[in-house]
Every structure is written in structure tokens, then in C-alpha cells.
Structure 1
Amino acid sequence: MGSALSNAPVSLSTLTTMQVGGVPSRIISCGNTQQLYDAAIELWSSDEQFHVLAGGSNTVFAEDLEGLTILHVTNRGVEIVSEDAQFVTVQVQAGHSWDEFVAWAVTNDYAGIEAMSGIPGSVGATPVQNVGGYGQEVSDVITQVEFLEKGSDESVIRPASYFEFSYRDSALKHGLEGLVGWVEFRLQKLAGMSVPMKSGQITEHLGAEYGSALPLEQVRKTVLELRASKGMVISETDPDSVGCGSFFTNPVISVEKSLEFPEEMQRWRMPNEDQVKISAGWLIENAGFPKGYSIPGSKAAISNKHALAITNRGGASSAEILELARLIQERVAARWGINLIPEPNLVGF
């Protein structure tokens, strides 16, 4: 199969940022795309249950993982495939760190992903939920993806439209099964400036007008500061960063329905003028969950910095994480009539 099998699988709490999860039956380390594809084809043919894991920042594993195989994706690399005076097209391997790629782009004056600085995880995971932040999302810049579809023995290159991207969503979350080998991005050359900023938080923080182009390095620095202030940048010195970042997506609702909520609730405009995105953090806090809340006796807690993040305070079980998440969902639904959707993958529950 051309891949290295772990003879002694480790607890997935050591491979995930939430730091919970049991020991799988085995871990297959895939250092290049072909190893990944070969392993997946073999596992599909044997109907063996498996899960693909790279950065481990967007997955919560159960404790009982008997029978589960982990494909640990570690392929890395960024390659420029074409460029002209205005654009550069790059292919990035699935196992490459997303934030390292963003840092590389900013250093080289390539614009289009700077506002997504500090997001943990791997490049290969970004198309799955159309990762985004501060007014940008990867579907803005993805051109194509090398993809091995379940049931196929050969990978194909699919255009971005194949994945039906929408807000924090894609066909990969709704029945399209397969593996990402690499992702191709088209970034802009704007002489060290960003694309127009569509985040009021960034422009207000920098005293600029909404829609302004700003220096790339300044945007990245600002985003990292904003995310760190919310415990959203992984740091060994910050216990609020032991989690998956935002545990729930910000709901998108009709403008009409949004009028039912108090004016002070944060909301953001969407490309579809009939819809707005509203603050899940506000809904949570105003359903009776202050920052730092935990169920008595539990080691799972809402972040002290941001109500949208669930954190592991040290030694929490995956059951405790899910117990808190479900309680939040129940109370928000009862108070506001909104069903919060978890952002991380929940495996083994």
C-alpha cells in the first residue's frame, strides 16, 4: 500500500486540538498523495470504517473508536503553477498547514486569503466546510481540486463549481464522498495590498472605510490579534485555545426574521440581500450561558474569551464536550427558535 502503519496507535487526544478522543484500531500515515489514495482505495474495497485526519483542529472524536482506522495526512508543499502580472495560481498539498500557507502568501504579496490568518488545520480540510473568516472564504479563491471520489480507482481534477460551495458548506458535507489530494488557489498581485476588506471588524479596528484595500501584513497582524483576543489562535499558554475554535456556525436567516431580534444583536450582510448572518455567540450568551460557563463537575467549558468556543479545561472527555454542546443547542432553540449547527466533525458518536 506504500504507507506506514502505526503498530501502536495513540490516543487521538494527542492529535487533535480539542484534546479528546480514544485510541483507534490503527493509524496509517500518508506522506504523499499516492499513499493517501492507495490506502483509501484499499479501505473502501474492504468496507473498513476510516476517517481522514490532518491538522486535527476541526474534529471531536468519541472515546470508543474500536474498528476505526485513521488516515493521517502529512503531505505538504506549495507550488506555483502559473502567474502573470495580476494573478498567481498555486497548488497546495492537502496536509499543508493552512496558516503557514497564508503566511507564505502574505510574505510574497499575494492577496485573497489574508483575512483567514490564524485559522488552524490543513489546506485539504478547507474545501469541506468552505472555511472562512473576516469576510473572506476559500471558495473566493479555489479554482480546482484534485479529488479521489469514493468508488473510483483514479483521482480527477474537479473545478470549484463541482463542490457547490455556500456559507460554511459544500457538497462534501452532503453526500459527496472522497479525498482531497491538493487544492489550487488563484491569488492576486496587488503590490502588497489586500483585496477590498469586507469585514467591519478589521476596517473599524484600523480606522479605515469598509471595502478599503489595506497592507497585507497589517491585515494579517490585525486578524491574528483579533483571533487571539477570542482564544481562537492555538497557543500553549492560552487554555481558551484548547478547542476547535468556533464550535457552532453563525446562523444565516432571512432579513425579515432578523427583525424579531433585538437591535444590539450582531448581524452581517450576505451576498444574498434577503439574508443576514447573525451572531451565534450573542444567541448563546443571551440564552443564559456566560463566558466561562461549565456544567457542574464537568471539565468542558465555554471559553472565557468567546461564547462561541467550547474548550477542554484539562482532562475533559468527549462526552463532556458533547453534553455541553447539546445543552447550548437546546437552550438556544428554546429561547430564540434557532438551531445551532456544530462546525467540527463529530466522529464516533
Structure 2
Amino acid sequence: MAKPNLAAPGRANAPIAPLTTLRLGGPAARLVEAPTADAVVEAVRAADAQGEPVLLLGGGSNVVVADEGFAGTVVRFTSRGTALHRRPDGSVLLAVEAGEEWDDVVSATIAEGLGGLECLSGIPGCAGATPVQNVGAYGVEIADLLVDVDLYDRRRDVVRRNVPAAELGLAYRTSALKGRDDAIVLRVRFALSGGDDSAPIRYPELARTLGVEQRARVPAAVAREAVLGLRRSKGMVLDAADHDTWSAGSFFTNPVLPQDEAPRVDGLPHWPAGPGLVKLPAAGLIEQAGFRRGHPGPGGRVALSGKHVLALTHRGGGSVADLLALAREVRAGVAARFGVVLRPEPVLVGCRL
């Protein structure tokens, strides 16, 4: 007997731009809303049976879709649900459906008196995308907390449950899942300490804001408010009325280079990034290459954020072509000044730098 298609009926020629934080990109040939993990699997199976390409879309916060749109099926995760399991050692296992809004998850853990995720407050997007990008901020990243995930393996047409985090190749802002669509995250699980203290405050800017020494702990709710304040000051908390938040977040990753190849520039910090490697701040490179906050792209329709040069923002009436032109200008300027090639952080669909 044929399996039922649990996904909602698809819409043809559906706009993608309103489903992204950039508010850019052309239409999808077909858009399917998938309200459960089973519906995600069935929507992808149906597209595969028709030989259609598939684009997976959560919160649309880390994706740039070409102006021409996507000539296939966009499967949008709308699955919801979380579950807490308190373990004998006092720690807590948190299971989250892939379509849950990430900041709602963080807020809910704080409300439950649970610390650990507070430094990842205010990050847009859905929970299922967090291990793909190994999302991180203010000294904490998903790799620090992730236990395992449930995946749909498209090649074998099976759901793999409890795939350990150690098998996902988690590294700085990447994983073995990034840039591919044959292993689809359906559910994620995190281990939290069970207490209401924050993770150790590692990030110097956050420590200064809180007035504590690095590696101190504070109440998780206090750390969350400080993180949200810092993110708002940089236009990194979504606000429909603020064009500085019409972005894909940080557009470039901080480059990691061999120590002997990293440029030495006054005022530009270097952070250890493994044996013989250092990480440089992309924002510092961009600023020292001569780009300032608010630097405009074509026609002023796109621009660097007025609050933070690492965000490329849509000011209204723009296009992905405009955005990429600005990104290329910034990348070329940094390369000419420092010999460092910046890499984009968002997923580029049907377009490239």
C-alpha cells in the first residue's frame, strides 16, 4: 500500500523572499509546508520521485536564493515540539523538533531555570539548522552542547535516529552536513547541566558587559539579556522596521589561517584556532580595508549595516545581484589590502560570489 503524503499541498510559483530575513530571492517552482518530521520526509520523497531538486528552508536566516528563484520544490520546516528529560545525574536532555524557532527554544530553557544556551540568544532561524552551521556566538557553539540528531538519509531512504554529534564533523561554523541535502536534520538533542547558571563567560566583550572576569558564571537569564543587548546594538536581532536587521547575519566567516601567513596589523587581534592556526576577525579586516558602517552597494539598495560591518543588509527595493556586488567589493578590498580571501557564511542557492 502506498505511503500517505503527510505534507501540506504545495503552492506553485510561491514567493521565497518573504520567508527569508534578507527579504530577497526569486520564487520557488513549488513550496511545501512540512509541519512534522514525517511530513518533511514525505515531501522530499515526493520531490525525489518526480526528479525535482529540493531546497530545505527553515527560518530563512542563513540563505541567499538567486533572483531567478529555485526551479524545484522548497520544503519549509514548520515542525514544532520540545521535550525535557531530567537524568539521574541532574543534567537535562533537551529534544527539539527541527522547525522550532531557535530563540524560542533558548527562551524556554531560561524560563525552565536551565542554563547553557543563553549565549546563543537572539540568533534567528530554526533549531534544525543549528548543527548544520555549528552555530556559535559569544564563546559558545552548538558543538559544546549537542548530543545527537535524527536524520533522513535520502540516498538510502531511511531515517537514522540518534546519530552522535561526533559523527557530524562539527567545526568552526561548519559541519559534514553543510552544503549538502542528502542528510536532513529532523530533530536535535542537547545536554544541559540542569542548573540555572550560565556557561562560563568566555567572550571578552560579554564579560565586560556583565562586569565579570572571563570564565565566570552568572545567572543564565542575566547573560541572555546581556547577549540580546549586544546583538541589538549590532542590528543582529530581527526587527521588521529596522533595515539593519534585513540581513543574513554575519555574511563572512572569521578567516582561519596558518600562524605564519596571518597579516600583522596594529589593533587586529589573533585568536588561537588549533595547532599552528589563528583566527582573525573578519569585521576588523573589513574596517581596516577602508569599509565603514553603512557603506552603500549599488544604488543604496543594499549596504553594510549601520551598526556592524559584517552584516550586508537589504535597504528595500534591492536584488540578490545588488547584494553579491557589494559582497564582491568587500571581498576584493580585503584581499587587496591583506591578501586574505573572505568566505561567505550563508548558503548561496543558484548564485555565487
Asked whether the two chains share a fold, i.e. TM above 0.5, the reply is yes
CA contact (8 A) 1:44 1:151 kept: no
CA contact (8 A) 2:253 2:344 kept: yes
SS state at 2:343 partner: coil
Distance change (3 Å), C-alpha of 1:184 and 1:66: closer
CA contact (8 A) 1:16 1:56 kept: yes
Unaligned runs of 5+ residues in structure 2 are none
CA contact (8 A) 1:299 1:316 kept: yes
How many Å separate the matches in 2 of 1:116 and 1:263? 30
How many Å separate the matches in 2 of 1:84 and 1:200? 35
How many Å separate the matches in 2 of 1:152 and 1:261? 49
Equivalent residue in structure 2 for 1:336, among 315, 330, 338: 338
Deviations 1:206-243 (A, max 9, x none): 12111101111110000000000000000123220111
Measured after TM superposition, the shift of residue 196 of structure 1 is 1.1
Are residues 1:79 and 2:79 paired?
no
How many Å separate the matches in 2 of 1:221 and 1:69? 39
CA contact (8 A) 1:5 1:26 kept: no
Measured after TM superposition, the shift of residue 11 of structure 1 is 1.6
Query: Which residue identity is paired with 1:170?
Result: S
Measured after TM superposition, the shift of residue 113 of structure 1 is 1.3
Deviations 1:5-37 (A, max 9, x none): 233543211110000011111101100000101
Matches within 5 A, 1:91-170: 91-157=95-161, 158-170=163-175
Bigger mean CA deviation after superposition, 202-211 or 223-232: 202-211
Measured after TM superposition, the shift of residue 91 of structure 1 is 0.8
TM-score (norm 2): 0.94
Identify the residue that residue 318 of structure 2 maps to in structure 1: 316
How many Å separate the matches in 1 of 2:130 and 2:103? 11
CA contact (8 A) 1:298 1:320 kept: no
Query: Which residue identity is paired with 1:337?
Result: G
Please tell me the root mean square deviation across aligned C-alpha atoms, in Å.
1.6
Are residues 1:177 and 2:182 paired?
yes
How many Å separate the matches in 2 of 1:5 and 1:63? 25
Are residues 1:14 and 2:18 paired?
yes
SS state at 1:25 partner: strand
How many Å separate the matches in 2 of 1:154 and 1:219? 40
How many Å separate the matches in 2 of 1:230 and 1:33? 34
Deviations 1:254-301 (A, max 9, x none): 34434x32231134344x253332110111111121110113524010
Provide the identity percentage: 37
TM-score (norm 1): 0.95
Equivalent residue in structure 2 for 1:234, among 232, 238, 241: 238
How many Å separate the matches in 1 of 2:33 and 2:298? 39
How many Å separate the matches in 1 of 2:70 and 2:64? 16
Query: Which residue identity is paired with 1:335?
Result: R
Number of aligned residue pairs: give it.
346
How many Å separate the matches in 1 of 2:124 and 2:247? 11
How many Å separate the matches in 2 of 1:316 and 1:219? 36
How many Å separate the matches in 2 of 1:147 and 1:347? 22
